[in-house]
Amino acid sequence: MDALMNFGQGIFGGVWPAVWTLIKIVLIVAPLMLGVAYLTYFERKVIGYMQQRIGPNRVGPWGLIQPIADGLKLLLKEIIVPSGSSKAVFIIAPMLAIAPALAAWAVIPFTDSLVLANIDASLLYILAITSMGVYGIILSGWASNSKYAFLGAMRSAAQMVSYEIAMGFALITVLMVAGSLNLVEIVNGQSRGQFADMGLGFLSWNWLPLLPMFLVYLISGTAELNRAPFDIAEGESEIVAGFHVEYSGMAFALFFLAEYANMILIAALTSILFLGGWLSPVGFLPDGILWMFAKMSFVLLLFLWFRATFPRYRYDLLMRLGWKVFLPLCFFWVIIVGVWMITPLNIWN
Amino acid sequence: MDFQTAVFFFLSAILIFAALRVITARNPVYAALHLMLAFFTTGGLWLMLQAEFLAIALIVVYVGAVMVLFLFVVMMLDINMDRIREGFWNYLPLGAVLGLLMVLEMGLVLGSKYFQVPISEAVVPSGVSNTKEIGALLVTDYVFPFELAAVILLVGMIAAVVLTFRGVKKSKISNPNQQVFVKAKDRMRVLQMPVEKD
């Protein structure tokens, strides 16, 4: 590692730190994009088997080349800009969708040392960056000059703003018990506790003491992602495909990439905040990045499972769940955790 | 010119351009988008002042929530810009006077000695998290204004609910008796309107 640093210093001189950061960004984004491609394959296979179909199996062995073929097809297609659309915004909207989905990865720790930017306020940064993802959807809906796209955008704006609040409150309880906004600190905080000392680390993770918030976070996360059963923004049986109905080719692919990159992001965040990140569930196995990937895969599988299982939620029920069920529950639980923490029963010290 | 100064001028240039576009853009959606850009660059400037909590809070609150609702409303408005621009020259003198007054006030406040912080004192020592500092101040020295602000917000929220509340709908069960006796003209209205041509 030192040899590599010295070699880079020798070639690039003063700009080497910038170049090294760029290399690290590529090392995060390239596997992420590959992960996105194979998540789509995984989704089609898993849902296929759940519905007693086979799924893609024609391109390459077991259909493994299928995502590459899909990507190539989208690259070669023409991007049609609808007449009467607002051209500049129509082009910018997909970029606004994918940029926050990638930028948020800057502060995600994979192990306690493997993180691009270990900043103090990383949880706040995540909250700020992911809250901007909604612009891609709203603007694409408005710029398309299409009724269906506009309806999809309106639905999605209302939905994402509503569920962001519940999600924020779930994060507040986590940072209350961790006493830090730093994601590495939050994971390290979960390695301490009575059960962790007994070698049963997985019972010390946040999911157990904060179980209601874990469920709220997982469900709000699904709603934030516009994933089934909360995919009313797409609602293909009502409004064709919602906000991206007018998009084709690579512009459509960017929305697709953003949705799946966000899925992996929420899976990573759920693992870090509630499932102990890279910590090993039992004392006799070492901690490591593989645990992180295993937990992320589990949460991703949950998202696919939801999609295969639940029918689409009705719009008024969705709003009711966000505002009348989750929000009071969150308020209540913040108070409970606050009181819990000042009593002698406090387990987070 | 060191790197920080260059970043400052870069962000300031974007901020001024975006702010100008907010008031000159013909399309209100573009104006709202430039306002969003202005908030975002202001967040960047605050980050340079080592106020990371305020910078991120600005982006979470204004860019992430307020502007979304703003865009939501602006997109659904059908604004005739020509009618709004009528009488621009009549209002200009009054607007210019008000604008000058505001610039004067701001100059007086920012130029006063309470706003002058020597550069040596303005540097935050490493290891101090301003999120924790702000939190500690809010619940100790400023707890009364903080609670007061919370009560005012609560009053505003209740007022909004009262203004739009239309009564509780107790049950969603449909009444077959009413359904049988319903007539077409109770449910449907046929409107005559001219054909829209673009």
| Domain ranges, ordered by start, for chain A | 1-76, 86-342
What 3-state DSSP class applies to B55? helix
Q: Kindly give the parts of chain A with pLDDT less than 50.
A: none
For residue B103, the surrounding DSSP H or E stretch is: helix B88-111
Task: Tell me how far the alpha carbon of residue A339 is from its chain's centroid.
Answer: 31
Task: Tell me how far the alpha carbon of residue A89 is from its chain's centroid.
Answer: 25
Task: Quote the pTM value.
Answer: 0.84
Structure-token match 């989905």, residue found: A101
**B60, B75, B198 member nearest A127 (Cβ):** B60
Which of B42, B72, B78 should be substituted to probe chain A, the one whose Cβ sees the most A Cβ atoms within 10 Å?
A: B72
Interface contact A125, partner B, CB < 8 A: yes
pLDDT at B82: 67
Contacts of A58 (CB under 8 A, 6+ apart): A66
Using left for φ > 0, alpha for ψ between -120 and 50, and beta otherwise, residue B167 falls in: left
Answer whether A84's CB lies under 8 Å from A145's CB. yes
Using left for φ > 0, alpha for ψ between -120 and 50, and beta otherwise, residue A180 falls in: beta
pLDDT at A59: 84
For residue A182, the surrounding DSSP H or E stretch is: none
Task: Tell me how far the alpha carbon of residue A48 is from its chain's centroid.
Answer: 23
Q: Considering only alpha carbons, which residue of chain A is nearest residue B132? A: A180
Could you tell me the two tokens for A334? 């913040």
For residue A324, list chain B residues with Cβ-Cβ distance below 8 A.
none
**B29, B60, B69 member nearest A142 (Cβ):** B29
Q: How many CA atoms lie within 13 A of A90 on its CB side?
A: 20
Using CA atoms, how far apart are residues A241 and A307, in angstroms rounded to an integer? 16
A25-50 burial, b at 16+ Cβ within 10 Å, e below that, comes to eeebeeebeebbbbbbbbbbbbbbee
Using CA atoms, how far apart are residues A108 and A187, in angstroms rounded to an integer? 11
Closest to A205 in 3D by CA, of A217, A197, A193: A193
pLDDT at A14: 73
Exposed, middle or buried: residue A119 (CB in 10 Å: 0-12, 13-18, 19+)? Answer: middle
Residue B29 distance to chain A (closest CA, Å): 9
Contact yes or no for B68 and A121 at CB 8 A = no
A·B CB contacts under 8 A: 68
Answer whether A296's CB lies under 8 Å from A271's CB. yes
First to last CA, chain B: 53
**B29, B64, B72 member nearest A128 (Cβ):** B64
pLDDT at B167: 77
Contact yes or no for B59 and A84 at CB 8 A = no
Answer whether A138's CB lies under 8 Å from B71's CB. yes
For residue A157, list chain B residues with Cβ-Cβ distance below 8 A.
68-69, 71-72
Cα dist from A336 to A173, A176, A220, A339, B9, whole Å:
10, 11, 20, 5, 48
**B33, B68, B131 member nearest A121 (Cβ):** B131
Using CA atoms, how far apart are residues A219 and A313, in angstroms rounded to an integer? 12
**B52, B53, B72 member nearest A157 (Cβ):** B72
Closest to A120 in 3D by CA, of B139, B11, B50: B50
Q: Considering only alpha carbons, which residue of chain A is nearest residue B72? A: A154
For residue B27, list chain A residues with Cβ-Cβ distance below 8 A.
86
For residue A150, list chain B residues with Cβ-Cβ distance below 8 A.
75
Using CA atoms, how far apart are residues B147 and B140, in angstroms rounded to an integer? 11
Using CA atoms, how far apart are residues A224 and A168, in angstroms rounded to an integer? 12
Using CA atoms, how far apart are residues A75 and A176, in angstroms rounded to an integer? 46
Transcribe B130-193 into DSSP letters: HHHHHHHHHHTTTHHHHHHHHHHHHHHHHHHHHHH-----------HHHHHT--HHHH--PPP-
Could you tell me the two tokens for B33? 């988008």
Interface contact A84, partner B, CB < 8 A: yes
Interface contact B72, partner A, CB < 8 A: yes
pLDDT at A179: 82
Structure-token match 């006030």, residue found: B105
pLDDT at A317: 86
pLDDT at A18: 82
Answer whether A162's CB lies under 8 Å from A181's CB. no
pLDDT at B41: 92
Ordered structural domains, chain B, with CATH: 1-81 (1.20.120.1200)
Q: What is the DSSP letter of A186?
A: H
pLDDT at B96: 92
Q: Kindly give the parts of chain B with pLDDT less than 70.
A: 1, 79-82, 84, 119-127, 198
